[in-house]
């Protein structure tokens, strides 16, 4: 992979710093629950379709008392898209060279009252440059106040940059995180955006804001619900909900497809899958 330019390096540095802060906060929650569970970090390297080194990343995974399974991954990859995949990526139709760096997080919780969550932000370069990402809440047992609080933090983050961001990106999440074969949503939404290109500084500032909003929104919800009692019926509800989550990620998720089509680390790509799920 070629040397990074200033924009690419700035994005990579931010995603790695955000990873460290999120992992520290999740480990703090585990300690509050009386657990000494910590993240295990596994580096990986990628070989491009040309056979040349193509970057890599670090998988961070924790299995604890509160977080049944959480992955926080950062990857920085580059090289060439395959001829079959290149036409589907903006700016790669004629020149298949690309660069991508980003953070991807999925947390599956041990207590059915604590919502699962997904967050991802990324920077891609072809002959064009853009940011994408978002965050969405996925409760097996929804609480309206949790949904409202999560969305309120994201809305404030969006409003600091453009009053049109939240309505547009919340609707985008509503449409994107949808299982058409079942006619149900994956969760209770959040925001989703992609191909945010043009002014690098403004778009990078917004992407950083999304990361900060996630840190402000999700840990309070975990602390609010992690001590609630639950029973077998609650666990059944959790496991069936997770089945829907698996279906979305394997059938429709763009990040899963992008990772597999670009030779990413399979364990890192599929870290979004829960440790247990159920289909009746």
Q: pLDDT of 104-126, one tens digit each? A: 999 999 999 999 999 999 999 99
For a pLDDT cut of 90, what percent of the chain falls above it? 86
Which of the four pLDDT bands, split at 50, 70 and 90, describes residue 1? low
**Catalytic-residue membership of 118:** yes
Tell me what pLDDT residue 268 has: 87
Task: Taking residues 168-178, report their average pLDDT.
Answer: 98
pTM value > 0.85: yes
Q: pLDDT of 28-82, one tens digit each? A: 999 999 999 999 999 999 887 777 778 999 999 999 999 999 999 999 999 998 8
Q: Is 111 exposed, middle or buried (0-12, 13-18, 19+ CB in 10 A)?
A: buried
Which of the four pLDDT bands, split at 50, 70 and 90, describes residue 280? confident
Using only C-alpha atoms, the chain has a radius of gyration, in whole angstroms, of 18
* 6-272 under CATH 3.40.1500.10, yes or no: yes
- Tell me the DSSP string of 15-32: HHHHHHHHHHHHHHHHHH
Q: pLDDT of 236-256, one tens digit each? A: 999 999 999 999 999 999 889
Q: Give residues with Cβ within 8 angstroms of 191, minimum separation 6.
A: 134, 135, 136, 154, 158, 165, 166, 169, 170, 172, 173, 210
| Residue 14, CA distances (Å) to 90, 122, 161, 175 in order | 24, 10, 19, 28
Structural domain boundaries of the chain? 6-272
Q: pLDDT of 14-38, one tens digit each? A: 999 999 999 999 999 999 999 999 9
Residues 230, 227: Cα–Cα separation, whole Å: 9
Tell me what pLDDT residue 259 has: 85
Determine contact, residues 244/252, Cβ cutoff 8 Å.
no
Residues 274, 277: Cα–Cα separation, whole Å: 7
Pick the catalytic residue from 108, 113, 118, 165.
118
pLDDT of 261 higher than 90 = no
Task: Taking residues 136-151, report their average pLDDT.
Answer: 98
């Amino acid at each position: 992979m070629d040397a990074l330019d200033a924009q690419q390096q700035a994005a990579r540095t931010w995603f790695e710093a955000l990873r460290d802060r999120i992992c520290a906060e999740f480990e703090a929650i585990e300690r509050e629950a009386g657990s000494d569970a910590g993240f295990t970090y596994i580096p990986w390297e990628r070989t491009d379709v040309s056979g040349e080194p193509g970057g890599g990343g670090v998988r961070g995974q924790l299995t604890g008392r509160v977080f049944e399974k959480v992955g926080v991954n950062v990857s920085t990859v580059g090289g060439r898209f395959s001829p079959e995949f290149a036409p589907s990526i903006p700016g790669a139709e004629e020149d298949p060279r690309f660069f991508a760096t980003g953070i991807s997080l999925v947390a599956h919780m041990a207590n059915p009252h604590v919502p699962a969550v997904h967050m991802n932000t990324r920077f891609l370069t072809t002959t064009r440059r853009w940011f994408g990402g978002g965050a969405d809440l996925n409760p097996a047992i929804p609480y309206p106040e949790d949904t409202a609080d999560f969305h309120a933090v994201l809305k404030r983050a969006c409003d600091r940059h453009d009053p049109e961001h939240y309505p547009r990106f919340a609707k985008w999440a509503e449409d994107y995180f949808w299982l058409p074969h079942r006619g149900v949503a994956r969760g209770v939404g959040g925001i989703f955006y992609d191909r945010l290109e043009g002014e690098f500084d403004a778009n990078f500032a917004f992407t950083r804001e999304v990361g900060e909003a996630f840190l402000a929104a999700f840990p309070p919800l975990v602390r609010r619900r992690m001590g609630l009692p639950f029973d077998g019926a609650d666990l059944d509800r959790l496991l069936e909900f997770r089945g829907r989550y698996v279906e979305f990620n394997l059938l429709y998720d763009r990040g899963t497809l992008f990772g597999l089509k670009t030779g990413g680390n399979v364990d890192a790509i599929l870290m979004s899958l829960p440790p247990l799920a159920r289909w009746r």
